[in-house]
Amino acid sequence: GAYSLAGMRDDMATLNMRMLDWLRLYPDVIAIMVDPLAAWHQLIENSNDALQVLWSALRSTAVRSQRHVGFDHHVTKASMVDLEDHVGNLAALRGAGVLGAGMRWAFTMAKLRPATAERHGITHDNAWRYRRLDTLKASYGADDACQRLLRVESVSIANGETAGVLVEVNLARVHAEAQERAVKAAKEFKKEFGDALAVMLMESHPMS
């Protein structure tokens, strides 16, 4: 299509230079996000040779324009069986292996397993609002191996509708709030148990 970055012509990967040149026309743009990558090309997704053509063009755009070029990409169906199976796994990327090899910075995002939510003190009813973000690859710096927690928040946009936005969560605060809830629940249980025991002791007949 006219807006595709690259496509196949007679079994050969070709770039849409009009589109790539258009991206370079705006020097004030500091970042280009391709969302998702698969929607912006018509190449054979499992072909390393074909994807390398697009990869080289995107890297050239980043270097020559001195801007960030990023994209989001899907994982294989096999790695979607478990909510967090693709975390930290380059092999889970769908398509040609050159995708993983060519990235300089990469992260995985995943919904939370029940056990992960519980570890962070997030209730089962609220777990759907959270995502974990993990470093997958860091070529230009040390991998901090730090898991980040994001929460989906609804915000109003210009046309009056609402959209979901991911906001980073302070893990220390989440854990502290979970601890406070646990202490409060224990106190409430202790009080309710004590009140029930007092009522039972005051009765003149057996109670359960």
pLDDT in the model for residue 24: 82
Per the model's pLDDT, the better-predicted residue between 139 and 136 turns out to be 136
Identify the CA nearest to 62 among candidates 34, 31, 88, 90. Answer: 31
Residues 124, 117 contacting (CB under 8 angstroms): yes
Average pLDDT, the chain: 87
Q: What is the pLDDT of residues 147-156, one digit of tens each?
A: 789 999 999 9
Reading the block at residue 206, the tokens are 């057996």
Q: Given CA atoms 175, 135, 140, 59 in this order, what sign does their dihedral have?
A: negative
Identify the CA nearest to 13 among candidates 106, 77, 96. Answer: 96
pLDDT in the model for residue 2: 82
Q: Is the pLDDT of residue 167 over 80?
A: yes
DSSP class of 65: H
Q: What is the pLDDT of residues 169-187, one digit of tens each?
A: 987 787 787 778 778 888 8
Give the mean model confidence (pLDDT) for residues 30-51: 92
Query: Percentage of residues in the chain with pLDDT exceeding 70?
Result: 95
Q: State whether residue 19 is helix, strand or coil.
A: helix
Reading the block at residue 31, the tokens are 């970042």
Q: Which band of pLDDT confidence, cut at 50, 70 and 90, is reported for residue 145? A: low
Query: Percentage of residues in the chain with pLDDT exceeding 90?
Result: 39
Give the mean model confidence (pLDDT) for residues 16-36: 89
Q: Which band of pLDDT confidence, cut at 50, 70 and 90, is reported for residue 39? A: very high
In this structure, which amino acid lies at residue 138? Answer: A
Q: Is the pLDDT of residue 207 over 70?
A: no
Per-position b or e across 142-156, b if 16+ CB within 10 A of its CB: eeeeeeebbeeeeee
User: Between the CA of residue 189 and those of 40, 184, 202, what are the distances in Å?
Assistant: 56, 9, 20
| pTM as predicted | 0.73
Preceding omega of 206 cis (within 30 degrees of 0): no
Residues 24, 67 contacting (CB under 8 angstroms): no
pLDDT in the model for residue 144: 60
Q: Which band of pLDDT confidence, cut at 50, 70 and 90, is reported for residue 53? A: very high
Identify the CA nearest to 17 among candidates 33, 27, 34, 5. Answer: 5
